[in-house]
C-alpha cells in the first residue's frame, strides 16, 4: 500500500516538480508513494470558470471563493476519506517535524494550495480543513509549501532513505538542532576537522556531538532550547501546563 498525496491547486504543472528527482523521485517511480493533482478551476460553476472575487470590505487583490474550493474539497474527501486535509496558509499552525512524522505515519495527505490574497475564511468553518503554515514569511502560493511538506514526509517513508538510522539523530528529532558534519579532506583552507572526530573513541565522539548540538541550538535557536526544557520537565502536580508556561 502506498502513501498517497493529493494536491488541490490552480497550477498542477508544478507537481511533482523537484519531487520527481533524487530520493523522492525514485520512491515515486517505485510506488512507495503516489501523487495526484486536482485542478481547482475544474470546480468553478460559471461560464468564465472564475475561482476568485474581490475582497469583502475592500482592499487589494482577489480572494479564492469558498463555494469553488468546497466543491474541489468534497471531490477529494469522497475519493480519499481517510487522508487528513491540510490547507496552506500563513495563518495556520507551523509545520514542524512532529507534524511531518505524524503525517508520514498515516495513509497520506491532501493539500489545498492557495493563491492571490488567500481563501474565503468560511471554508475553514464549513469543512474539516487543517490550516498549516510553512514559516513566518509569505509565499505567492501554497505550492512551494506543499512541495516542502511532501518532501519532508516522503523521506521518512519506509524504504526511502538509504541508511535506516539516518533519520533518528537529525535536527528536531531530539528537539534540538543536529551536531555539525565534516568530511575529507582533513585540512581545507587551513581548517582541520575537529580532532575528536578522528580519534575513533565513540564515547568521546558522542559526547562532543551532544555538546555541540546543545551549544549550537542555544546560540542559533534559543526558542528550541526553551521548548526542549519544557517538554522534559514534568509539570508540578496539580499545576496546569498553560499556567506554568505563562509564568516563564
Ligand atoms: N494575504 C495572505 C497571504 C496570501 S499568499 C496573508 O497575508 O496571510 C497566497 C497563498 O500562498 C496563500 O493562500 C497560501 O496558500 C500560500 N502561502 C503563502 N505563505 C505561506 C506560508 N507561510 N505557509 C503556507 N502557505 C503560504
DSSP single-letter state for residue 119:
B
Ligand 1 centroid from CA 8, angstroms: 15
pTM confidence score: 0.92
Q: Is the CB of 131 under 6 A from ligand 1?
A: no
| Domain extent listing, the chain | 3-154, 174-227
145 lines ligand 1 (CB under 6 A): yes
Q: Is the CB of 67 under 6 A from ligand 1?
A: no
pLDDT in tens, 105-116: 999 999 999 999
pLDDT single digits (tens) 54-74 = 999 999 999 999 999 999 999
Regarding the beta carbon of 60 and ligand 1, being less than 6 Å apart is answered no
Could you confirm whether domain 174-227 is CATH 2.60.40.10? no
Cell output for 130: 487543517
Q: What is the pLDDT of residues 18-31, one digit of tens each?
A: 999 999 999 999 99
**The CATH number of the domain covering residues in 3-154:** 3.40.1280.10
Q: Measured from the CB, is residue 139 less than 6 Å from ligand 1? A: yes
Residue 164's pLDDT is: 56
Which long-range contacts (C-beta less than 8 Å, at least 24 apart) are formed by 214-222?
A: 214/176, 216/177, 216/179, 216/180, 217/176, 217/177, 220/177, 221/177
Domains 3-154 and 174-227 share a fold: no
Cell of 80: 480519499
Name which residue sits closest to atom 23 of ligand 1, judged by CA: 133
Amino acid at each position: 500500500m502506498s502513501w498517497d498525496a493529493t494536491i488541490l491547486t490552480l497550477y498542477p504543472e508544478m507537481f511533482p516538480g523537484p519531487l520527481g528527482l533524487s530520493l523522492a523521485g525514485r520512491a515515486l517511480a517505485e510506488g512507495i508513494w503516489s501523487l495526484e493533482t486536482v485542478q481547482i478551476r475544474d470546480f468553478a460553476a460559471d461560464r468564465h470558470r472564475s475561482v476568485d472575487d474581490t475582497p469583502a470590505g475592500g482592499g487589494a487583490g482577489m480572494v479564492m471563493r469558498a463555494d469553488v474550493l468546497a466543491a474541489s474539497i468534497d471531490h477529494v474527501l469522497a475519493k480519499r476519506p481517510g487522508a487528513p486535509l491540510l490547507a496552506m496558509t500563513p495563518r495556520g499552525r507551523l509545520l514542524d517535524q512532529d507534524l511531518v512524522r505524524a503525517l508520514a505515519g498515516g495513509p497520506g495527505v491532501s493539500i489545498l494550495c492557495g493563491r492571490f490574497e488567500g481563501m474565503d475564511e468560511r471554508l475553514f468553518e464549513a469543512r474539516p480543513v487543517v490550516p498549516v503554515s510553512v514559516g513566518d514569511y509569505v509565499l505567492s502560493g501554497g505550492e512551494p509549501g506543499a512541495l516542502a511538506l511532501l518532501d519532508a514526509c516522503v523521506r521518512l517513508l519506509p524504504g526511502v532513505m538509504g541508511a535506516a538510522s539516518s533519520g533518528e539523530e537529525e535536527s528536531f528529532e531530539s528537539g534540538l538542532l543536529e551536531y555539525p558534519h565534516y568530511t575529507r579532506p582533513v585540512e581545507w583552507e587551513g581548517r582541520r576537522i575537529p580532532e575528536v572526530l578522528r580519534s575513533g573513541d565513540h564515547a568521546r565522539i558522542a559526547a562532543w556531538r551532544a555538546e555541540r548540538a546543545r551549544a549550537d541550538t542555544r546560540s542559533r535557536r534559543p526558542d528550541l532550547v526553551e521548548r526542549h526544557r519544557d517538554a522534559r520537565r514534568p509539570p508540578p502536580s496539580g499545576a496546569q501546563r498553560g499556567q506554568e508556561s505563562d509564568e516563564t
